[in-house]
Amino acid sequence: MDVFGNADPNGPMIYKGLYHLFYQWNPKGAVWGNIVWAHSTSTDLVNWIPHDPAIFPSEESDINGCWSGSATILPDGKPAMLYTGINPQNQQVQNLATPKSLSDPFLREWVKSTENPLMMPTKENGINATQFRDPTTGWLGHDGRWRVIVGSKRKHGGLAFLYRSKDFVHWTKAQHPLHSNKDGGMWECPDFFPVSIKSQIGVDTSLVGPYVKHVLKVSLDDTKHDYYTIGTYNTDKDIYTPDKGHVQDTSALRYDYGKFYASKTFFDGPKQRRILWGWINESSSVADDEKKGWSGVQAIPRTLWLDKSGKQLVQWPIPEIEKLRVNPVTWPSKALKGGSVVEVSKVTAVQADIEISFKITGFEKAEVLDPSWKDPQIICSQKGASVKGALGPFGLLVLASNGLEEYTAVFFRIFKADNKYVVLFCSDQSRSSLNEDNDKTTYGTFLDVDPVHDKLSLRSLIDHSIVESFGGEGKACITARVYPIMATERGAHLYAFNNGTENVQITKLNAWSMKKAKIN
């Protein structure tokens, strides 16, 4: 979205029919530093107009940087931004900014509260001044008081400090955190919101009651991944408890099993949906980032809802992105023979949207899942796209060069385990680029689908160096950040492949070339 380094999405919201996205931005270079809040607006979440930075260092409470924060729409319709500022002592403190003119739909100018900083780390309140950041969107309790949480760390574990306020200006720290964990390190960019247990529609951040569960998402600084749990929010005690079997650490579920961090959701009231923004961090070296003059990009916005099982969230690219589709290519049902690679032609392979579904037979031939294989990412690394199995690997080779010197493989592999079949979903970056300086980590997860009775579907959105893939209709997502050298522009190809010994049936394939969004 911008020529220089950009990072965490901040304060996403809708105001008077315009979507606003703010994000961490370095106006002076391609790598992290000199952080301000860049600002863009959109009518459709696809095409964006950039504005001057909205929040930038200008006073004692933020003179060394304006770090991440969130938007809250107050009852009178006025947006309020809470954000982390870095003061002259390099302490992390929480500040408030509001629009200068509510009649300007672009909200181009912001005024900082004369009460800043509103929340301070002190020895008395037991907060580490270097680990106290990223306030969430506020929610209203039944007592009429606002609540927000701020990410922090104590010893080896993360915690979410809870603050309450009657006026959104004067805040009091609660005696106990909303939730904490003894392991997992610093909790960055926490997000706390309700999801409906009855439908896919999004709900307002302040909604509580018998028909919602709550989600707590934290970005773990130690691993640079986002993890979430689903649980229950006790409004009387202001305590969040994850459901049984869910722990807020690296064993928790993830929005995305690839490059995706510092994410934030907001409630899009007019369309009754909750939208997720995430930052796709880099796989290129710092030297390469400086050479190309930019780093970091925002992922395509996703709608997010609770799966009907109640055990996980589901995500899907916003439907507005489909306005960029042109020149559809459709295949009839066809067998994909074991060991075959078939080109999906007449598609602009560097900028495409592809949906493919598979039907599987021959389950008795499935490989047995070794009980000691606990980490799906390691299985995907050891059993990549080039390792022949029985049922799989099968899926897509994207951003592939003509001779397959380069490709990113997004695929499934089916195992037999404990009288059921398990689907492994992988994004294999090991041959994604001939540039050996890139991070080419392979990512993967188990997909909660029954391959015997459910169709096995994959959607991949491809954009030059980014591949966002959605398995099982959004039950698992993997974002790859790849920089091919040969598979660029006309040198890029798109293939369906099956490197298993057994045939699989493609039941549906639809692919589109994608127009460019207007972002400047």
What is the rounded CA–CA span in Å between residue 298 and residue 6? 8
Q: 394: closest CA among 464, 490, 471? A: 471
- Angstrom distance (rounded) from CA 465 to CA 254: 22
- Answer yes or no: are the C-beta atoms of 243 and 231 closer than 8 Å: yes
The CA distance from 441 to 461, in Å, is: 19
Rounded-to-integer distance, Cα 47 and Cα 277, Å: 15
Place of tokens 């304060």: 11
What does the buried/exposed string (b/e) look like for 367-384 if buried means 16 or more CB atoms within 10 Å of the residue's CB? bebeeeeeebbebbbebb
Q: Is 256 a catalytic residue?
A: no
d(CA 493, CA 350): 8
Residues facing residue 458 across a β-bridge: 356, 471
Cis peptide before 117 (omega within 30 of 0): yes
User: What single string gives the DSSP state of each residue in 440-505?
Assistant: ---EEEEE---TTTS-EEEEEEEETTEEEEEETTTTEEEEEE---SSSSGGG-EEEEEE-BSS-EE
Reduced to 3 states (helix: H, G, I; strand: E, B; else coil), residue 364 is helix
Measured between alpha carbons, how far apart are the two ends of the chain, in Å?
Answer: 8
> Residues 2, 8, 134, 249: which is the catalytic one?
8
What does the DSSP 8-state code read for residue 430?
T
Active site residue ranges: 8
